[in-house]
Structures are given as structure tokens and as C-alpha cells.
């Protein structure tokens, strides 16, 4: 029987009604589903096929911990995340591993004392062309993605928008938008009209002899792979306008699981069919 406490909730899942005060009270499949629907689950992707010598699990956990702290999770230190991750046993194999923090329903409002979340890990296989892996030599890429400019915008003034989320609203909207337009991806601008990201990826432009990428303050998403290209000097941060995007020698997309794709910009509306980013 449900209690009268305002802290108790009911959820209907797979034909059963569950009563809970915290997601950790629920069976794991129910809690994971609820956490995703709440839309505040920071995530990282461990990819065993790319760059283990370049980016370690600790690099991923550092970013995940900082993202979790920004969203109000209590005690999500890298050491604590590593401890919980080890409880899953050996990870790896041919697929990526998705690692996310699933929140308590109130964790994004005020983090209570103690842990108000739990860690979830599962095998993850990227959609699309996963054969095109990261190429630090910037050689020819085997696959290009026909890309438009999204009508949706990232609010770069809100620091929480720089967090890579498991179920990102903008990413979902732009995926549907691209599909409807017959394209593979969409570049997302921030509310001031400058380049932010694609749905989930870091955008890099080749401008002359350098590679540039938007700073986090412009609406870029914080990932270990983005940090790596900046720390290694492969790219530098720069505010990027739509004109920069259109006039770039090449436009690249660096996914949160470490794969790199070429973006061919296809103008829509007045510029329909005008493919400018070669």
C-alpha cells in the first residue's frame, strides 16, 4: 500500500506498479529507465578500440565527476566512480561501454547528504558508420556526413548545457530534424547564432593550417576526447561563426566515443543544395 508521505512515488513499468522514495529502491531496469526520462544523467563512453594509450578510464571518470558535480550529484568523485565501476567486473570487448549516473528525482534541485544516485554501465554500439575511427594524422576520412544547420539552439549561457547527457533533448531533436531533411547530422548553433556542436559531437574546423573548436562557454559539450585534442595541441579554442563554418577548408565531427567524421555542409532554405564545406 502506498504511504501518505509526499516523498513516496508510484511508477508503472512493464505492467507493474512500483512504490519508491528513491530510484535506488526500484529494480535496476525500472530505475535506469526513470533516470533517462528525467534527462539529467551525465554519461561517458569507454571505447576499447580507440586510444586506450591516449585516454585512460581515469580521464573519462574525471569528466564524468565534474559533470555530475555541476548537476548537483553528491560525492561523485573519480575514486568513488571507479570503485562502483569495478563492481561490474571486467569491461571491454568489441563494444563501447556506456557509463552513466542515474539520478534520484530531486538530485538536480538539491543534493541531500550521502549518495543520491547510482552508477550504471552497459555495452554500447554507436549508430551510423563506426568504421571511421579517429585519425590524429588528419588523413582522408572514409565517410562524410551530409549536414545541415539545425533550427534548434543550445543555451550556452547555462553551464549545465555543456554536460554530455545520456538522453540529450537537443540531440534527440536534431536527430529527428536531420532524418526529416534527408541528412545525416545537424550543426547546432548557440542562442547568439555561433557554432556550438552537433547533436552530441565536438565540431572542429580546419582554417588554414590550424584546427579550431568552440569553447565550452559557446555551448560545446565537455568530453574526454575534446579535452585530449586541446591538451595535445591538435586544436585550439575559438568562437566560430556561421561564416567560419561555411568557409572552412574542412569540417570535422569528433564523437563522444572517439570516432571522427567529416561533415559536408548542405545549405537548406535559400541555400538549398549548396554544398560549401568541402
3-state secondary structure of 96: strand
Are residue 148 and residue 205 in the same domain, yes or no?
yes
Are residue 194 and residue 267 in the same domain, yes or no?
yes
* Number of structural domains the chain divides into: 2
**Which range is least confidently modeled, 21-30, 33-42, 161-170, 192-201?**
21-30
Are residue 81 and residue 157 in the same domain, yes or no?
no
Element (H, E) at 220: none
Counting residues of the chain whose pLDDT is more than 90, the rounded percentage is 44
Are residue 16 and residue 62 in the same domain, yes or no?
yes
Are residue 111 and residue 187 in the same domain, yes or no?
no
Are residue 118 and residue 185 in the same domain, yes or no?
no
Name, of 12-26, 69-83, 88-102, 126-140, the range with top average pLDDT: 69-83
Please check the confidence at residue 106 and state whether its pLDDT lies above 90.
Answer: no
Are residue 223 and residue 118 in the same domain, yes or no?
no
**75 — pLDDT class (breaks 50, 70, 90):** confident
Mean pLDDT of the chain, nearest integer: 81
pLDDT in tens, 148-174: 999 999 999 998 888 999 988 899 999
Please check the confidence at residue 130 and state whether its pLDDT lies above 50.
Answer: no
Instruction: Mark which of 124, 153, 177 sits at the end of a domain.
Output: 124
CATH of residue 180 = 3.20.10.10
* DSSP 3-state percent helix, strand, coil across the chain (nearest 5): 25, 30, 45
Q: Is residue 151 part of a domain?
A: yes
CATH of residue 38 = 3.30.470
Residue 137 CB neighbour total at 10 angstroms: 5
Q: Is residue 139 part of a domain?
A: no
pLDDT number for residue 15: 77
Instruction: Mark which of 60, 93, 124 sits at the end of a domain.
Output: 124
**209 or 3: which carries more pLDDT confidence?**
209
Q: Is residue 187 part of a domain?
A: yes
pLDDT number for residue 275: 36
Are residue 200 and residue 100 in the same domain, yes or no?
no
**271 — pLDDT class (breaks 50, 70, 90):** very low
Are residue 149 and residue 262 in the same domain, yes or no?
yes
Could you tell me if 75 and 119 are in contact, meaning their C-beta atoms sit under 8 angstroms apart?
no
Are residue 155 and residue 264 in the same domain, yes or no?
yes
**Residue at grid coordinates 539545425:** 150
Q: Which domain holds residue 13?
A: 9-124
3-state secondary structure of 38: helix
Contacts of 157 (CB under 8 A, 6+ apart): 191
**254 — pLDDT class (breaks 50, 70, 90):** very high
Amino acid at each position: 500500500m502506498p504511504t501518505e508521505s509526499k516523498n513516496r512515488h508510484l511508477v508503472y513499468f512493464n505492467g507493474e506498479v512500483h512504490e519508491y522514495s528513491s530510484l535506488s529502491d526500484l529494480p535496476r531496469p525500472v530505475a535506469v529507465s526513470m533516470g533517462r526520462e528525467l534527462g539529467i544523467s551525465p554519461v561517458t563512453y569507454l571505447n576499447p578500440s580507440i586510444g586506450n594509450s591516449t585516454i585512460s578510464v581515469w580521464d573519462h571518470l574525471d569528466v564524468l565527476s565534474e559533470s555530475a558535480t555541476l548537476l548537483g550529484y553528491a560525492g561523485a568523485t573519480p575514486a568513488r566512480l571507479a570503485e562502483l565501476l569495478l563492481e561490474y567486473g571486467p569491461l571491454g570487448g568489441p563494444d563501447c561501454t556506456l557509463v552513466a549516473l542515474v539520478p534520484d528525482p530531486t538530485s538536480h534541485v538539491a543534493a541531500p547528504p550521502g549518495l543520491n544516485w547510482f552508477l550504471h554501465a552497459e555495452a554500447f554500439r554507436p549508430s551510423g558508420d563506426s568504421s571511421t575511427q579517429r585519425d590524429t594524422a588528419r588523413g582522408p576520412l572514409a565517410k562524410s556526413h551530409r549536414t545541415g544547420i539545425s533550427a534548434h539552439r543550445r543555451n550556452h549561457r547555462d553551464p549545465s548545457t555543456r554536460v554530455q547527457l545520456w538522453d540529450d533533448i537537443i540531440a534527440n531533436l536534431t536527430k529527428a530534424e536531420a532524418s526529416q531533411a534527408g541528412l545525416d547530422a545537424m550543426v547546432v548553433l548557440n542562442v547568439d547564432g555561433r557554432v556550438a556542436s552537433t547533436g552530441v559531437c565536438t565540431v572542429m574546423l580546419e582554417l588554414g593550417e590550424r584546427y579550431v573548436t568552440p569553447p565550452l562557454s559557446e555551448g560545446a559539450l565537455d568530453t574526454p576526447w575534446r579535452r585530449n585534442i586541446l591538451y595535445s595541441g591538435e586544436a585550439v579554442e575559438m568562437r566560430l561563426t556561421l561564416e567560419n563554418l561555411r568557409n572552412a577548408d574542412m569540417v570535422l565531427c569528433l564523437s563522444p566515443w572517439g570516432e571522427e567524421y567529416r561533415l559536408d555542409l548542405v545549405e537548406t532554405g535559400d541555400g538549398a543544395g549548396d554544398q560549401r564545406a568541402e
